[in-house]
Chain A
């Protein structure tokens, strides 16, 4: 059971928008930056969003991040079949002195 809670799966049609939530507490999301990672089967994770809402170079603006209180959200617009992957949120926990990951969300583009 992860300290950060994500829905196990989400789905939407091509071209549509989807959001993936990540819920935590004041010791982690509430007072630290949130990151989002994308992972395709059999490959290493890739950083999608850092510092709550910033995109590394090369990440399309279809991907966005936001944070409010102790929750964060990853948004993906203009869904493509190539976006089918697992998505993980991550942050630092100031009480545990540890990096936390959410349990991951599998995105299906129908």
Chain B
């Protein structure tokens, strides 16, 4: 079964850091671009970042450049999102997603992990 499972969310103070993980299974992880998408409470979907198959190409939404870093470990079938200098507005459910069919099409999603930034 194709599956993505996020972990690493939690409660963090403003200015703090957190690393999210996404464990992939059931498909050849090294063949796919991967993505992080977040959803603030009661809001819509917001794309965060994409990474290519070997980790050499990364794209970010402007609002997180310099604060968030997407990476992957193909040996572990894992995707990561390192987040620093967190702000209250980063509070959201964070989803990892597989990019399939064509560029930027997210065909498989994880269940999400919740990040709450509060003092």
Contact = CB atoms under 8 A, between A and B. Distances in A.
B47 A100 contact: yes
B27 interface: no
B107 A56 contact: yes
B20 to A, nearest CB: 15
A50 B44 contact: no
Interface residues of B, number: 23
Interface of A: 2, 32-33, 35, 37, 39, 43-47, 50-51, 54, 56, 86, 88, 90-92, 96-104
Interface of B: 35, 37, 44-47, 50, 59, 61-62, 95, 101-112
27 contacts: A33-B104, A35-B104, A35-B105, A35-B106, A37-B45, A37-B106, A39-B45, A44-B109, A44-B112, A45-B106, A45-B109, A47-B108, A50-B101, A50-B105, A51-B102, A86-B44, A88-B45, A90-B45, A90-B47, A98-B47, A98-B59, A98-B61, A101-B37, A101-B44, A101-B46, A102-B44, A103-B44
